[in-house]
Structure 1
Amino acid sequence: MAYTHATEYGTIALHLQPTDCTGMTQTALKKKRSYGPDVLLIRLEGRSLVEKTYRNKGLPVRVMGTLLVSWEAFIYSRLMGICGIPVVTSRPDKYTLVTSYMGGENLRSTTRRPGVTYFEKLSSIIEQMHQRGVVHLDLRNRRNYGIDTSGLPYLVDFATCAYVPWPGRLRDILATIDWMGFLKIKERLNPEEITNEERRRLAKGRTMSNLWLPGRATKPIRDMITYLKKSFLGSA
């Protein structure tokens, strides 16, 4: 993939310390964890990029990080051209992914209340994503939704997405998981805008969820995953 000179210059700068590149700043966008990537906002000469990297992690995490970064880069390549999806600018090394910075805040930290237009445009982004065969699978997490400085939506964090390029039952089922996450976020942040049809879908989704895997049944699994992470990868 070809990159512009400006993007390449930004990529080279990412390998330098702030003292080596006048005017470059680095800000952590995510709390550091021993088993997760370091996510940094890089600002240089008026440009902003996001670097997600596992290069400074322990060996087991670096190995897993290599796979996750490669997969996420592939997913971004499938979503290229969709407004509201970050653009990959470079892969400085096999542990690292650099994308455009979308600005604004995520829906967990923002004090702004998304309105009708926000959710309409967000719905369009999700529809286009599904048409490309990509299912996010983590749209219940408000941190994966962004609202930029103009109040427009975007999505981030595609490392654990599914890719089902062929239309069919499987993709429809997985897409339903995304839509349920979307509706839960909308219901939480702007319940007045939930339509009767959306309320019906939410009720149906909750019923199916209770019949399939009750929360109390999955809690031991979640606890075990947390225990294994702390035991083998270090505490959070």
Structure 2
Amino acid sequence: MIQAILRALSAHIPGHTFSAGSLSVLHEGRFANAIVYLYQDEHYQLIIKDFSSRHWLIRKTIGRLSVRQEFNAITALQHIPGITPLCFRPGECTIAYSHIAGQTLKDFAAEGNRLSPAFCIELEKIIHRMHEAGRVHLDLRNMGNILIDEQGKPAIIDFQSSLRWQRFPLWLQKFMRYADITGAYKAWERYGTTPLPAHKKQFLTRYNATRKWWVFRGYPVHRMQVRVQAFAAHVMSLNIVQNILEKFW
């Protein structure tokens, strides 16, 4: 499997020799999750998410959808500071992108560190630019998806939940964008060196009150999508469907 990943990387970056000794596993993941690798040498630092070792049903459904969704999101946003600038697909269920060195906000704060107002404001700007580019993240209330990089700047990772917000009804567009921006307010309130400004505190409080009544708490559209994917996976597991698919895949 490792050799297959290295060959795929070489095909997308010709002229560079990728070594197995430079590839390490960051997360094994569960049966339906990607294995996450880190590749590091003197020229490249890459994160690789790979579903190719999973069951064929996972590869053909969740794997493909997850990789395609994250690839489309990063490709649309990679011009924005704080988003990884290099992203490609070595395989149909594998994605690779530049590693952003740094700490998650959760780990950063666990060491007793605190965020400056300038950091929090810069994070808001990144989120607004992401929205202007037509995408919502939908999982920024998870402090593991926001980084403080080696220069002390904010960065955003893990775009598997990201969607294009314009295709939804207006009320849902606002709800999704607010989910992102309140992630920044949540970080400021929890970890900031100064209190969250009053008008932002009021916005966060109102949003949290609304969110309590939302049936898909956390990242609403993504959870709905996961349910749809699970149903599709169930249908595809039927013998008659599997026999048909094996003739074409």
Task: Provide the TM-score with structure 2 as the length reference.
Answer: 0.73
CA distance in 1, matches of 2:49, 2:78: 18
1:71 maps to a residue whose letter is Q
TM-fit CA distance, 1:59: 1.8
Residues 75-224 of structure 1: pairs in structure 2 closer than 5 A = 75-110=73-108, 111=111, 112-165=113-166, 169=170, 170-190=172-192, 192-213=194-215
The alignment's C-alpha RMSD in Å is 2.9
1:74 counterpart = 2:33: no
CA-to-partner distance for each residue in 1:138-188, whole Å, 9 max, x for gaps? 111111101111111100111111212469724222101112222222211
CA distance in 1, matches of 2:128, 2:116: 19
Distance 1:149 1:214, change over 3 A: closer
- Secondary structure of 1:36's match? coil
Any stretches of 5+ residues in structure 1 without a counterpart? 19-24
CA distance in 2, matches of 1:113, 1:29: 26
CA distance in 2, matches of 1:141, 1:213: 18
Distance 1:91 1:103, change over 3 A: same
CA distance in 1, matches of 2:51, 2:204: 37
Tell me, yes or no, if the aligned pair for 1:186 and 1:194 is still in contact at 8 Å.
yes
Number of equivalenced pairs:
207
Question: Which residue of 2 is the match for residue 22 of structure 1?
Answer: none
Residues 10-89 of structure 1: pairs in structure 2 closer than 5 A = 13=18, 17-18=20-21, 25-63=22-60, 64-89=62-87
Distance 1:149 1:131, change over 3 A: same
Distance 1:30 1:186, change over 3 A: farther
Distance 1:211 1:72, change over 3 A: closer
Q: Which moved more, 1:25-34 or 1:37-46?
A: 25-34
1:17 maps to a residue whose letter is A
% identical aligned pairs? 25
CA distance in 1, matches of 2:206, 2:16: 47
Tell me, yes or no, if the aligned pair for 2:87 and 2:97 is still in contact at 8 Å.
yes
Any stretches of 5+ residues in structure 2 without a counterpart? 1-9, 235-249
TM-fit CA distance, 1:9: 4.3
CA distance in 2, matches of 1:55, 1:206: 39
Distance 1:88 1:62, change over 3 A: farther
TM-fit CA distance, 1:95: 1.2
